[in-house]
Amino acid sequence: MASPSGQGRGKDPLSPRAARAKLAEALGKLDITDEEATPLVLDDADEGMPEKWLLAGKVLHRNLLHIQTITNALRPAWGNPRGLDFKSVGENTFVAEFANKRDRDRVWQGAPWHVSKHAVILSEFDECMRPSELRFDRLQMWARVVNLPFNLRNEKWCAAIAKQIDEHATDVNFDHVNGYLRARVTVEVSKPLRHWIVIESARRKSVDPYDIQYENIPHFCFSCGRLGHSDLYCPTPGTRDANGDLPFGKGLRASDERKKRKLQ
């Protein structure tokens, strides 16, 4: 760890002239003064402090939510882990501190989470980060591909099909009881949800689309297919078809077999 006054880092402090030149190069400016370029050296490494287990999150909601509203929704959803603490760090943005790595990892891997069905986007977090460095642009979900031909339901073809949704898809398997491919994928929040993948099959001698469905998916816009708003507030509304339907709909939501079993 760094020692007081910045020593022990293997580099001598920059002279004002060198610091100014380096800052000017980084910012693309030539009129930086010595005062502007002289850094305040802080030993904020917190040597000897216990490690913290943190996640940052943002609720995609057009209204401002109080941190207590977010806490009341997520604490029970996350299993009321002991020591969990929420702090507001911006508009609908929070940092959650966990008592241990196990609870933090379980929540990270359990996404998607909701607050009143509005998506909660999680991001890895360290206290030395700046707010501008936080990224809430990706959401992990379970995706299904339905109605696949029987010859494409093996491990080889399922892996190839899942990569069409997400090149880094994980936990790929085929549920032979319920009849769909299932994989853990990451979607980009700024992009419309994907309706289907298209497969050109040499054996079928055809090009066919296969629907994608998302498990436990938060609210999304039926007009543009993006998370974070409804079609009533869509900035880029889509065109309705001859039946009056918008481009996206409930067909993207996967059914919950667990609820079906309870009703039987």
What is the per-residue pLDDT across 8-60, written as a single tens digit (0 to 9) for each? 444 555 666 776 677 677 766 667 777 777 788 888 777 777 789 999 999 99
Lowest-pLDDT range of 34-43, 91-100, 104-113, 125-134: 34-43
Residue 127 — very low, low, confident or very high, per pLDDT cuts 50/70/90? confident
Q: Which two tokens stand for residue 183?
A: 């994989």
- Of 58, 47, 14, 26, give the one whose Cα is nearest residue 189: 58
Per-domain boundaries in the chain: 53-133, 138-263
State the pLDDT at residue 232: 86
Q: Which amino acid is at 118?
A: H
Look over the chain and give the mean of its residue pLDDT values, rounded to a whole number: 88
What is the C-alpha to C-alpha distance for residues 230 and 60, in angstroms, rounded to an integer?
A: 11
Could you tell me the CA-to-CA distances from 162 to 57, 123, 142, 153, 194 in Å, in that order?
A: 27, 24, 11, 12, 13
* Pick among 3.30.420.10, 3.30.420.40, 3.60.15.10, 3.30.70.330: CATH of 53-133: 3.30.70.330
Question: Stretch 94-102: mean pLDDT, rounded?
Answer: 97
Measured from the Cβ of residue 129, the count of other Cβ atoms closer than 10 Å reads 15
What is the C-alpha to C-alpha distance for residues 168 and 122, in angstroms, rounded to an integer?
A: 18
State the pLDDT at residue 261: 53
State the pLDDT at residue 7: 40
Question: Stretch 98-118: mean pLDDT, rounded?
Answer: 95
- Of 13, 105, 122, give the one whose Cα is nearest residue 60: 122
pLDDT tens string 51-92: 899 999 999 999 999 999 999 999 999 999 999 999 999 999
- List 206's β-bridge partners, or say none: 201
Q: Which residues of 147-175 are buried (b: 16+ CB within 10 A; e: fewer)?
A: ebeeebbeeebbeebbebbbeebeebebe
pLDDT at 2 exceeding the cut of 70: no
State the pLDDT at residue 5: 39
State the pLDDT at residue 51: 85
Lowest-pLDDT range of 19-33, 132-146, 201-215, 222-236: 19-33
Question: With pLDDT > 70 as the criterion, what percentage of the chain qualifies?
Answer: 87
pLDDT at 259 exceeding the cut of 60: no
Lowest-pLDDT range of 10-14, 120-124, 196-200, 255-259: 10-14
End-to-end CA distance of the chain: 60
Measured from the Cβ of residue 236, the count of other Cβ atoms closer than 10 Å reads 10
State the pLDDT at residue 207: 97
pLDDT at 1 exceeding the cut of 60: no
